[in-house]
Structure 1
Amino acid sequence: MNDDMYDLVVVGSGAAGLIGAVVAAREGKKVLVLEKLSKIASKLKATGGGRCNLTNTLSNEEFMSRFGRDGRFMQDALNGFDHNDLVEFLKGIGVETHAPDGFRIFPTSHSSQTIIDAFENELTRLDVEIKCEQRVERLLLEGEHISGIKTQDAIYKTANVILATGGLGYPALGAEGDGYILVEELGHKVTDLSPAMMPLKTKEKWQANCRADTIPKVELRVDIKKHKKLRAKGDLIFTKEGIRGPVVLDFAREVTPLLKKYDEVPILLNLTKGKNEEQIREHLKKISQEDPDKTIVELVHTLLPLPLSEELCKLATIEPDLKYNKIEGQKRDHLIKLLAWTPMTVTGHDGFKMAMITRGGISLKQIEPKTMQSKLVQGLYFCGEIMNLDGPCGGYNLQWSFASGYLAGQLKN
């Protein structure tokens, strides 16, 4: 038993936990941060390949809409701490930021270590105690109130706990889902969990010949009648086993839950920057008339990289060196359909070991959005990825972690 009494114990040292600790300590609270790894902020360090896309410049309304139907749960947190507030907060602890593309906001250093160092300095200034290599085994209660935390080698007394243990993505960085187990023991419901933000594997193999190029402005959509509204847009990269790139990271959060229902998920890819069949037909016809000596693969190459052009001609069973007007109409129509919407079939992924975030989490119905406090246990707060709320790429999930952690750290009862 540790005889010290803490006003707050924060479990987890990601973005959400760190800012929650700072906010509480600034209000004069005695704060302890527990981290099961040997150092803090391991996942934050890896965010965005280490470049750390902190947030973005969208309005709160637009920001919430990108999270789907549950996005409005964030309203109170964002009203109290939006992207402008985050930029000011970081500036106050010595981190300058900028938005080089006018949308995504990064530290000017483009290094997540800058963020971690600034938080460590601020926590030291505020006398926040940090204990690493502390695995929490149980949350202790007196009636329906938090009374402490038990780790593998100590008990810490406290009336308030912020659970910021994250999800299941990147287990090598500490994500093991232990937070879910802790709260389920207290009666909280955890929804189905799926890996998200990750590459996808496909049944097709032709794409392995098209790995050299990034295809811009691709639209992906699910080709299942009841799920046709699921779609995403962005840059795509073909891989030996399937597809990756920003658009796939966004799309994966919609597809991975479907793979639990269906063995395979058929998808359609518009690789031609949104052109429809008629526009593609007119484009090919026009280029062919301007230069009758161009082969069909050379014509398609005016829209797409050459390796991809060759593969799509093969899929349409067209000899790539044929001239446009020498191709039979049915095959030409088939090629144009393929250029407008190329079919592929998602068959799997690499699981949580490659997932940047987790789809699913603690049910939002059991959390008070104005405080981030549990509706079941007094003094228990949640923030970040542990909750059933996830967004696309582009600073959404990190902003949500900071906003929810900032609100939780206020310890509003």
Structure 2
Amino acid sequence: MPNTYDLIVIGSGAAGMIAAITAARDGKKVLLLEKLSQIGAKLKATGGGRCNLTNTLDNETFMHRFGRDGRFMIPALEHFDHYALIDFFKEIGVESHAPDGFRVFPVTHSSTTIINALKNEMEKVGVEVKCSQKVETLEHDGEKVTGVHTDDSIYFATHVIVATGGMGYPMLGAEGDGYVLAESIGHSVTELFPAMMPLKTKETWVTNCRADTIAKVHMHVDMKKYKKLKAMGDLIFTKNGIRGPVVLDFSREITPLLQKFEEVPLLMNLTKGMNEEQIREHFKKELEKNPHQNTLDLVKTLLPESVSQELCKMAGIISDIALSKQQGTARDKLFKFMAWTPLTVTGHDGFKMAMITRGGVSLKEIDPYTMQSRKLHGLYFCGEVMNLDGPCGGYNLQWSFSSGYLAGKLLG
């Protein structure tokens, strides 16, 4: 029968392509459908185009970084962990390395290298790829999947893998198609939030600091019920807010809170973890070396000039006179603000700036040992379409590859 396959994969991201390759290597007749005119559009943008494939953490630590649902990944990582991923790419001609000992990149630091290698491997193992094919509906008999309808064709298969990704970067084809397909056969989809993105702040002083990056910033939510929410990493001030690795990570926690509250107050330690007493002691030592320094000069020994100036203003400090001549209340405020700088998050740019989606198809309705739907036999999910997301640093891409590999084994 024409248009009949063992497996149809919907979506050509990391999860979809490795699922298709895995099944084809096992002798299955595979069709991959992509609604855009070319494959791997979102993968191309990953890591700013450098493609941070994975990281070097052991599986236990890796899963822990995903939160309470991280253990859902145990079977997938047992089948295909970061060692297996590195070996897989080496086998298909892509060498990788970890320049910082943690994040793993292709040695070319180019996502195009990864996409071309996956494309070539799909051709080699006989995966049929059809672009400009948007899947509109899943075909099934109530118990098992039988195929898919696109906008102009029908394709038949006993197995279908939904690897459509999330809602982030809609200009690259992310429109939530997979959630619609999942719900059409009775799956639950959790509330969806944009994640891994810049945040906007109420405070306008940040615009004066946007030339500077602050390393190793500690950040936590300043709300009684949510004080355990925290992150650490490099921070970049922007015209109207904050970005940088620590913000990308923390936005996963902040965007759901913004749905509940109009504002989310944060406290940030910009001095590499120093507390008020340690800052006082640091200033004392600096003054012993150079007694003629004014207050701004002292603050600049720990922070960039633009940030130093803004913190002095916030504390009511006269920046060009000695610290000893400042009012006591102003001095105390300065030490307090240097140890914990307040900042209020008020918004974000939505899914158009989100690298990933928080939320997705309920994990309770997916078998972690096969990635098969518990609702419909022969239907599988992998990658970002599921309700599981991690921080930046190769976590989400590794999960896409691991879950895609396991789904492609068609173990259900």
TM-score, normalization by structure 2 = 0.99
Runs of 4+ in 1 over 4 A off after TM superposition: none
Partner of 2:244: 245
Structure 2: 5+ residue runs without aligned partners? none
Partner of 1:314: 313
1:220 Cα deviation after fit: 1.0
Asked if structure 2 preserves the Cα contact closer than 8 Å seen for 1:171 and 1:353, the reply is yes
Q: Is 1:162 the equivalent of 2:125?
A: no
Partner of 1:185: 184
Alignment partners' CA distance in 2, 1:145 and 1:328:
75
Partner of 2:121: 122
Equivalent residues in 2 for 1:194-209, closer than 5 Å: 194-209=193-208
Alignment partners' CA distance in 2, 1:386 and 1:334:
46
> 1:132-169, CA deviations, whole angstroms, 9 ceiling, x for partnerless residues?
00011000101210001000000100010000000000
Asked if structure 2 preserves the Cα contact closer than 8 Å seen for 1:270 and 1:342, the reply is yes
- What SS does the aligned partner of 1:378 have? coil
1:200 Cα deviation after fit: 0.2
Alignment partners' CA distance in 2, 1:211 and 1:86:
37
Partner of 1:339: 338
The amino acid across from 1:140 in the alignment is: E
1:285 Cα deviation after fit: 2.2
Partner of 2:60: 61
1:328 Cα deviation after fit: 1.7
Q: Is 1:136 the equivalent of 2:125?
A: no
> 1:276-314, CA deviations, whole angstroms, 9 ceiling, x for partnerless residues?
111011111221233221010000000000111011000
Structure 1: 5+ residue runs without aligned partners? none
Q: Could you tell me the percent identity over the aligned residues?
A: 67
> 1:340-369, CA deviations, whole angstroms, 9 ceiling, x for partnerless residues?
000000000000000000000000000000
Partner of 2:273: 274
Alignment partners' CA distance in 2, 1:322 and 1:390:
49
Partner of 2:284: 285
Partner of 2:372: 373
Alignment partners' CA distance in 2, 1:205 and 1:36:
42
Asked if structure 2 preserves the Cα contact closer than 8 Å seen for 1:292 and 1:323, the reply is no
1:228 Cα deviation after fit: 0.5
Asked if structure 2 preserves the Cα contact closer than 8 Å seen for 1:268 and 1:341, the reply is yes
Alignment partners' CA distance in 2, 1:4 and 1:151:
12
Alignment partners' CA distance in 2, 1:240 and 1:110:
29
- What SS does the aligned partner of 1:68 have? coil
Q: Is 1:222 the equivalent of 2:221?
A: yes
Alignment partners' CA distance in 2, 1:230 and 1:292:
41
1:406 Cα deviation after fit: 0.2
Asked if structure 2 preserves the Cα contact closer than 8 Å seen for 1:218 and 1:247, the reply is yes
How many residues of Structure 1 are paired with residues of Structure 2 in the alignment? 412
Alignment partners' CA distance in 2, 1:167 and 1:324:
52
- What SS does the aligned partner of 1:134 have? coil
Partner of 1:357: 356
Alignment partners' CA distance in 1, 2:321 and 2:68:
50
> 1:22-76, CA deviations, whole angstroms, 9 ceiling, x for partnerless residues?
0000010000000000000000011011100000000000000000000000000
Asked if structure 2 preserves the Cα contact closer than 8 Å seen for 1:288 and 1:324, the reply is no
Partner of 1:147: 146
Q: Is 1:44 the equivalent of 2:43?
A: yes
Asked if structure 1 preserves the Cα contact closer than 8 Å seen for 2:10 and 2:33, the reply is yes
